[in-house]
Structure 1
Amino acid sequence: MPDWSAVLISPDEDFDGAPLLRKELRLDEGHGAVVRGTLLATAHGVYEAFLNGRRVGDDVLSPGWSSYEWRLRYNEHDVTALLAETPAEGTVLGLALGNGWFRGRLGWTGGRAYYGSELGAFAQLEIAYADGHVQTVVTDESWTAGPSAVLANDLYDGETIDARRLDDGWLRPGHADPAWGGVHRGELDLSTLTPYIGPPVKRILEVAPVKIWTSPSGRTLVDFGQNLVGWLRVHVQGPAGTTVTLRHAEVLEHDELGVRPLRTAHATDRFVLSGRADVFEPTLTFHGFRYAEVEGWPGELTPDALTAVVVSSELRRTGDFSCSDELVTQLHRNAVWGTVGNFLDVPTDCPQRDERLGWTGDIAAFTPSAAYLFDVDDFLRDWLRDVEAEQRAADGMVAFVVPDVLKLVLADDPDASSFPPQESTAVWSDAAVWVPWALWQAYGDRRVLEDQIGSMAAHVRRVESLLSPTGLWDTGFQFGDWLDPTAPPEDPILAKADPGVVATACLFRSATLVAETAELVGHEDAAHFREVAERTRTAFVEHYVADDGRITSDAVTVYALAIAFGLLEGDLQARAGDRLAELVREGGHHILTGFAGTPFVTDALTITGHLDDAYALLLQRECPSWLYPVTMGATTVWERWDSMLPDGTINPGQMTSFNHYALGAVVDWLHRTVAGLAPLEPGYARVLVAPRPGGGLTWAKTSLETRHGAVAVGWTQADGAALELDVSLPDGVTGVVRLPGEADREIGSGTHHLTAASV
């Protein structure tokens, strides 16, 4: 931890919620050349730093969103090169602030400033010289504050910039402006300061428009061809004072911008022109959108005037997949884009409406998929620190969202009292266990288990206290199989699957994983959690499973969970698998599962010998299905199976997002079963190559950049022909090839071509 001498400072005047802060300094003389410069910085709000007139770093929206009460992250920037440009008259360290998550709107009730009413900055510039001398420049009461060109900024509502107020003089020595004033010391507990574990948010891609046209109502619309998250960079010239307005949305409805799913989020940026050639980039907000509506543009709008800037936490892409069915390949692409859009500092549910919260159920479902597509180890280990911090403050309870702003929203707004009181709930709270376990399996780094065993154990112990005398988790509120497509649009909690069955199955899985984790890290309570798991299995079978394998509520999800989690054995599992397949067929191979069942249904069918039904479920084109949104032109995974209806109108429910990743968790099955690549040991030090062709697919391939190097598996099979399999393993990695009807084959590193006539 640095030896802090800085203090948090806030401007005496708010300056439209986007103040600028500055400090002039001179380098100490007589100590030789500057050999190292380090800027440590954070904020209440979000900040951008400048030194010698240049932007420090390429991160945006820093320090992001963490559980601010206990964890405020700071960035560390190497500014040695910028200090080398210091002019003789001195330099300026500048900080630009915005509301961000700290003071902006959060949640759907309209509230804001849940973490504090004042913006503030905290920075420490450490300059090391050749003779060992260190000069330290810090935020303190000697700084000054003034207005920026930003008139309004909010993550939900957008940003307003007046180019007539742009003036970079504040970043040069000698700046004097009567509009500038003082600063005062704010409150900051230095013990909450912590370095980033995960990556910062950055601009990662730019996307050009694919179409500009006029809507039936006469509005100018722009299509970027991809549902994405970020903002628009605008090049424009027009009369001074002209206002250009940009509205953003994910879809069109009746050939106009479909804004109803945004609910109260305005998602609107406004740019006031200076009369010169202006460039606008609203870096204090972000939008989830594919389409933009442009109003007030001077002259003809051309494609080179607008660029969509995609922002996300900086994640390295690691996994890929494609196959002979282009719709399935597009489904996989949609899951990739959904990850990019929703892994924006916090693993969010959606990036566009008045929500964008770290719902724990979404990431519980999706982590195995995300950990294959990208290296999300540090990103999610950072978030898990917030999970643990929130748990400690809530006696082990894992909140619905992390960071848990809902505890503040619900306390602040009496009109939100109809929302259920927070308590541990299946799938959502199980994220405390399922996420670190999935990271361990994907990357083989035991640190995540060592760091999180306390949190994992606390979750199961909390649930133990909630069980009924039967040993079932059938008490209290449950989201259950949330967004079961058979539930009414206005009440997505009314799933067919019994919530007690879902919850008890999830407890069994979590207790089992905590027991295994405890054994791996030498935790003293391994035997206790093993006993919890076995008690839960016994209670589940006794109270929920009939002799013929029927499970209470007789829904697809309850069979999928019981089978995939290993709750059933022998003939009981076989009968449950047969009933699962029967229900899937009766449903016409349409999806009949929500958040709880969807990640596991294809696995359960595969495990119990019903691969053809798993493929029929995957390849279904009619709604509800995974591929229905793809046939409707989706470029990300939808929140609802029918977020858009077949006639092109938006689902009438009040909760309709076109960029959710949770229901895209099937891509994990695509990797492991369709293409056939899975870890035999955590981190892929040893791999299983076990493709299960079906559904009429003639080829599939996948690749993964593991901690040990690149692994690739691909197969082809024409009608009636032998299966041709190609496998590539890096040095030091071995594997097992497992094909139906054949003995396992051991393979070593290198490239292998195998033929299996019986598949």
Structure 2
Amino acid sequence: MNITKLKTNRITNPLGFSMGRRPRLSYVVTGTDGRKQTAARYEVAQDTSFSSVVFDSGKRTDIDSLSFELPIQLMPRTRYYWRVEVWADNGDHALSETAWFETAKLDEPWEAKWIVPDMDKEHHPVLGRTFKLTGAVTSARAYICGLGLYEMQINGIKAGDEYFAPHFNAYHKWLQYQTYDVTQLLCEGDNQVQVSLGNGLYKGRFGFDGHSKELYGSEFALLCEIRVTYADGTTEILKSDTEWTAERSRVMSGNLYDGEIFDATLTASESYTVHEGDLGFERLKPRMSLPVVVKEELKPIEVIQTPAGETVLDMGQNMVGWIRFRTRAPKGTIIRLQHGEVLQEGNFYRENLRTAKAEYVYTADGEEAMVRPFFTFYGFRYVKVEGWPGELDPNDFTGCVLYSDMDQTGSFETSDPLVNRLFLNALWGQKGNFLDVPTDCPQRDERMGWTGDAQVFSGAACFNMDAYTFYSKYGYDMYQEQVDREGMVPMVVPAVNVPSGGSSAWADAATIVPWNVYLHYGDKAILEQQYESMKSWADFIIRADEGSGGKRLWTVGFQFGDWLSLDGSNPESSMGGTDQDFIASAYYCYSTRLVAKAAKVLGLEDDASYYGQISGEVRQAIEDEFFSKTGRLALDTQTAYAIALKMDLAPETYRKRLVDGLVNRLRKDHNHLKTGFVGTPYLNFALSDNGCEELGYTLLLNDDYPSWLYAVKLGATTIWERWNSIDTDGKIGNPGMNSLNHYAFGAIAEWMYRVIAGINPSEDAPGFRRVVLAPKPDFRLRWAKAKLESAAGTYMSEWAFDEEGRLEFRFDIPFHSTALVRLPRAAAAVLSISGPAPDAPAIEEGEDMLLELESGSYVIRYMPSRSYLKTLSTYTPLAVLAENEQACELIAPFIPPGFVLNPDSLYSMIRDTSLRELAAYYPIDSSILDELDRKLKEIE
């Protein structure tokens, strides 16, 4: 029996993080045949030997491995060690390894001062000083905040492995400071500390219009306090003050959009004084942001000599970060790297980056050097290299992939390599856009935390990675912005200089994201932190409704609509063809429902009742306004049907008509996507939740425009902003708003986990303590498998068909967890079950069989009661045959005159008719039909 993944606030051994109200401890148990935890015990001490214990829970039966709130008063700058002991129902018992967390300064006053360099504010400074330590150092911590961005070196060595500290947030509301363990960087005797400062979004070019600067401040500033403990127990504090000096950095200029210019030949010849800054200390808060680190490294897959004579590195993957390169260039050599996402006619291209230069310019000093940027990052696959002396060796270049330090928790794979690439594209979209803020795109002059993108992808994000801490910081920042806006949520967070906000689907990130986080991790602390944010957003909508007549509909204010859908009547508009009042009112209903659910979890019964009542009234108003008395939806778009079904906006008696309406709408759209940012995350769920998963698979597996696999077949390695960001001829569309790394449509990954693999968390036991395992196979995929390292432990769900169509399922259910397993088309089938409960009772429900299983590994085999094999024949509807090129060739000679085998004629006239049925009117010899059946059956 092993106890693993010991985390504090979902972080492994956090140093200097905000602890929230109190630290929350969690763990995962593996390596036991036990099914349940019977008891656990936490011990917390201030030493590794646990001789100075500050908390002992004792052996208790009520400790939950998902989250245990530690009831102690924390001391500043203190490391706490903790371990957990667990007992299982089979007698197994284990004691964990020791984990720790260390507090920041908390409420302790700062002895350091903010300092500002007395030099041209356009010049990047390096602030520093030398100091002497009088003895052997046993412990040292640096508490530091630098604006806009900073990197600290002590004795020439970088402190920590993170970049872009103090990270990106609403600086006018709060400032994060970081804590570094610098013990090993210091020595007895002379030492030197240097802190380089960069612009970042604090004072550099950034924002909604792409051209503003000094959005939060106009001066570089530093606050630094280094606390040293000697071997004899005495302490010394080195603090930023006017004794520090400044010099010009070799970073000559730069910002997040344009890149960076670095001159290695520059020798700082002038020293500048510093003066005390007036930023104050009220905004300072221990860090909430996860470190941004180099998570992966890539090597170029090819060096391309383009038709235009350019030298271009192909990294093989649209990535975010920078190129690190080794150079031996002669002094004065200028090397320029330019970054782009795509080639055009074989040549380097970056017009879709708009005004962002996205380049790195390096002037060599003649020494061999390993080079990388300091205060910028790029979104790119291709790198044009200029000025490289001699022959370029690709081994000298490394792509450093940067994103917030989140553990990958989910994986997914099928028999179809295109689907696998689509999943990876969504995963890489998350890697590229989860750099401290969930940005919309990482490459052009934008890179902002659009709330709509963050909201629609949040479910997929929590499957892919442990995103609890990442979203906790984003949610905190969101509420800071709401406070000044009477609850309204800006369209981006941090809000920088955005003109407005409050659009449905975008602003509803305030309710949907924290609820998804709670559902995935089972820690209600996220709801406690975000409840006022959730509630104030709901209240904002309610006030907007009541101010416009109180119809319990949301019909006022700016709306993005179904952004970038393909069904709008105006080709110049990006807002789609679905009525915006309907979309807004749907989210009005949904968000107030989520606030009611959150209130119930937190024990706020009056709020739960109030917001639940509001949600019900909105639902009724939607029914009255947008539905006929017989259940017909007045809006005939894929998105309207999808959100009506997924958000449960109509009585159950209307459901069949809604489903039929969606199926018919898709038929008119030739079973291809028309949805935008709002409809796409819900469309496949609306189908699979209502018995139409085969149609959902069709949408997934389409590989022509518009579809997910269209981009994959054109070589995409991330998700595109538009369904047709690139045309079939390889030409990129309008570069004005055309990102090739824009993850919103990658929300389909959540459907892959939940429907194809069938792993579904339960609201009644969140954090995957209980799940519904309900895979919905399709023979067009011969197998599929997913693995999820959830907060409760590792789930595995796998299924495969054999040649005869038999199904085999493999499930892993972690310790102290349960699963309701729904086996499709298993009614009346003979089940073969191996595992801890081979005789588990099965309950029939329609075509399915339900099993209640506890932790363990299971293999279940059976022949489906209704075959998944789809053999073509003369009895198959012509619309299905028309989708298969081989079948079309076989039956074309027998189609009656006047009919054409294309969707336009078939969908409107004879799509559901078979060739056998047509033979009753247009005689075809039965022997010919039998021969056609033989040939059609052979088509795979």
Tell whether the structures are fold-level matches, with TM greater than 0.5: yes
Alignment of structure 1 residues 454-603 onto 2, 5 Å: 454-467=532-545, 468-469=548-549, 470-487=551-568, 491-523=572-604, 524-603=606-685
Q: Secondary structure at the match of 1:332?
A: helix
- Classify the secondary structure of the residue corresponding to 1:338: helix
Report the CA distance between 1:131 and its aligned residue.
4.4
**1:737 aligned onto 2:858:** no
Are residue 725 (structure 1) and residue 812 (structure 2) matched? no
TM-score, structure 2 length as denominator? Answer: 0.76
Amino acid at match of 2:496: V
Q: 2:196 aligns with which of 89, 93, 96?
A: 96
Match in the other structure for 1:716: 800
- 1:55 corresponding residue in structure 2: 158
Deviation at 1:105, TM superposition (A): 1.2
Q: Take 2:337 and 2:701, find their aligned partners in 1: how far apart are those partners?
A: 38
1:315 aligns with 2:396: no
Which aligned pairs between 1:412-423 and structure 2 lie closer than 5 A?
422-423=500-501
Does residue 449 (structure 1) correspond to residue 527 (structure 2)? The answer is: yes
1:289 positional shift: 0.1
Find the partner of 1:227 among 314, 318, 321.
Answer: 318
- Give the equivalent residue in structure 2 for 1:674: 756
Measured in 2, the distance between the counterparts of 1:488 and 1:333 equals: 34
- The 5 A counterparts of 1:308-347 are 308-347=399-438
Residues in 1 aligned to 2:120 and 2:685: alpha-carbon distance in whole angstroms: 55
Q: Which residue, out of 38, 42, 50, partners 2:141?
A: 38
| Runs of at least 5 residues in structure 1 that lack an aligned partner in the other structure | 167-176, 411-421
Are 1:17 and 1:99, in contact at CA under 8 Å, matched by a contact in 2?
no
Give the C-alpha shift of residue 544 in structure 1. Answer: 0.8
Given candidates 777, 781, 794, the residue that maps to 1:697 is: 781
Q: Which amino acid aligns with 1:4?
A: W
Q: Is the 1:490–1:653 contact (alpha carbons within 8 Å) kept by the matching residues of 2?
A: no
Within 5 Å, which residues of 2 pair with 1:330-409?
330-407=421-498
* 554-563 or 483-492: bigger deviation: 483-492
Partner residue, 1:750? 856
Is the contact made by 2:121 and 2:219 (CA closer than 8 Å) also made in structure 1? no
Equivalent position of 1:206 in the other structure: 297
Query: 1:38–1:80: 8 Å Cα contact kept in structure 2?
Result: yes
Name the aligned partner's letter for residue 854 of structure 2: G
- CA separation in 2, counterparts of 1:643 and 1:137? 54
Aligned equivalent of 1:18: 124
Question: Does the CA contact (< 8 Å) of 2:325 and 2:396 recur in 1?
Answer: yes
**Secondary structure, in 3 states, of the residue corresponding to 2:699?**
helix
1:149-181 CA distances to partner (integer Å, 9 max, x unpaired)? Answer: 111111100111112126xxxxxxxxxx65111
Which amino acid in the other structure matches residue 120 of structure 1? A
**Equivalence for 1:415:** none
Shift of 1:185: 1.4
Distance across 2 between alignment mates of 1:623 and 1:343: 28
| Greater RCO structure (CA 8 Å; 6+ sep) | 1
- Identity of matched residues, %: 38
The correspondence for 2:279, drawn from 171, 180, 188, is 188
Q: What's the secondary structure of 2:815's corresponding residue?
A: coil
SS at match of 2:219: coil
1:612, 1:695 within 8 Å by CA — same for their partners in 2? Answer: no
Q: 1:264 aligns with which of 341, 344, 355?
A: 355
User: In the alignment, which residue of structure 1 is the partner of 2:253?
Assistant: 152
Letter in 2 for 1:434: I
Check conservation: 2:796, 2:812, Cα contact below 8 A. yes
Name the residue aligned to 2:182: 79
Please tell me whether the aligned partners of residues 17 and 98 of structure 1 are also in contact (alpha carbons under 8 angstroms). Answer: no
Q: Deviations over 1:355-389 (max 9, x none)?
A: 00000000110001000100010011011110010
Residue 172 of structure 1: aligned partner? none
2: CA distance, partners of 1:351 / 1:4: 36
**1:475-505: per-residue Cα shift (whole Å, max 9, x none)?**
1210010010234897443311111111111
CA offset at residue 450 of structure 1? 1.0
Question: For the structure 1 residues 53 and 489, does the alpha-carbon distance in structure 2 shift closer, same or farther, using more than 3 Å as the test?
Answer: farther
Question: What is the alpha-carbon distance in structure 2 between the residues aligned to residue 4 and residue 608 of structure 1?
Answer: 59
Map of 2:717 onto structure 1: 635
Q: CA deviation at 1:53?
A: 2.2
**Structure 1 residue 70 displacement after superposition:** 1.2
Using the size of structure 1 for normalisation, the TM-score is 0.94
Q: Is the 8 A contact 1:228 1:337 kept in 2?
A: yes
Corresponding residue of 1:3: 109
Question: What is the one-letter code of the residue matched to 1:68?
Answer: Y
Alignment of 1:115-194 (within 5 A): 115-165=216-266, 178-194=269-285
| CA–CA separation in structure 1 for the residues paired with 2:109 and 2:232 | 20
Counterpart of 2:772? 688
Distance in 2 between residues matched to 1:486 and 1:536, nearest whole Å: 26
State the shift of 1:276 in Å: 2.5
Q: 3-state DSSP class of the match of 1:191?
A: coil
The answer to whether the 8 Å contact 1:159/1:268 transfers is: yes
Amino acid in the other structure paired with 2:819: G
- 1:124-144 Cα deviation digits (max 9, x unpaired): 101123444321111111100
Residue of structure 1 in register with 2:790 after alignment = 706
Distance 1:240 1:486 in 2: 58
Contact preservation (8 Å) 2:294, 2:402: yes
Cα distance, 1:471–1:237 mapped onto 2, change above 3 Å? same
Answer whether contact 2:569 2:577 (CA < 8 A) is retained. Answer: no
SS at match of 1:282: coil
Does 2:374 correspond to 1:296?
A: no
Give the Cα–Cα distance (whole angstroms) in 1 for the partners of residues 734 and 115 of structure 2.
47
Unmatched runs of 5 consecutive residues or more in structure 2:
1-105, 825-846, 867-940
Instruction: Select 1:622's aligned residue among 687, 704, 707.
Output: 704
Distance 2:410 2:129 in 1: 46
In the other structure, the counterpart of 1:174 is none
TM-superposition CA deviations, 1:92-111 (whole Å, max 9, x none)? 12111111111111123411
Query: Is this contact kept in 1: 2:520–2:791, CA < 8 A?
Result: no
Could you tell me how far 1:215 is from its partner in structure 2? 0.9
CA shift in 2, pair 1:103/1:538, >3 Å: same
Cα offset for 1:628?
0.6
Do 1:516 and 1:526's aligned partners in 2 also have CA atoms closer than 8 Å?
yes
Cα displacement string for residues 62-95 of structure 1 (whole angstroms, at most 9, x for unaligned residues): 1110110112111111112222xx153x111211
Q: Does 1:106 align with 2:188?
A: no
Structure number with bigger Rg: 2
Per-residue deviation, 1:281: 0.6
Deviation, 1:622, is 0.8
- Retained in 2: the 8 A contact 1:480–1:495? yes
Q: Which amino acid aligns with 2:201?
A: W
1:566 to partner: Cα distance: 1.1
